[in-house]
Amino acid sequence: MSVRGGFEAFVGDSSSRLLRTAYLLIGDRHEAEDLLQMTLIRVARHWRTAEAAPVPYAHRVLVNLSRDRARRARRRVPEVGWDELQASPAEFRDLADELAQRASVIDALARLPDRQREVLVLRFYADLSVAESAAAIGASEGTVKSHTSRALARMRGLLAEPTPLEVSPDDR
The count of other CB atoms within 10 Å of the CB of residue 1 is 9
Does the pLDDT of residue 136 top 80, yes or no? yes
Give the predicted TM-score (pTM) of the model: 0.57
pLDDT at 31: 92
Contact between residue 65 and residue 40 where contact means Cβ atoms under 8 Å apart = no
Maximum Cα–Cα distance for the chain, whole Å?
63
pLDDT at 163: 54
Mean pLDDT of 112-137: 92
Q: How confident is the model at residue 94 (pLDDT cuts 50, 70, 90)?
A: very low
Give the CA distances from residue 49 to residues 42, 58, 59, 78, in Å, rounded to whole numbers and listed in that order.
Answer: 11, 11, 14, 37
> Regarding predicted confidence, which is higher, 166 or 97?
97
Domains detected in the chain: 1-76 (no CATH), 82-163 (1.10.10.10)
Contact between residue 47 and residue 58 where contact means Cβ atoms under 8 Å apart = no
pLDDT at 172: 47
The count of other CB atoms within 10 Å of the CB of residue 155 is 18
pLDDT digits (tens, 9 = 90+) for 38-93: 999 999 999 999 999 999 999 999 999 999 887 776 666 556 555 555 545 555 45
> Regarding predicted confidence, which is higher, 25 or 94?
25
Q: How confident is the model at residue 98 (pLDDT cuts 50, 70, 90)?
A: low
> Is the dihedral angle over the CA atoms 13, 4, 57, 75 positive or is it negative?
negative
> Regarding predicted confidence, which is higher, 169 or 103?
103
Least-confidence region, from 7-11, 50-54, 74-78, 138-142? 74-78
Does the pLDDT of residue 135 top 70, yes or no? yes
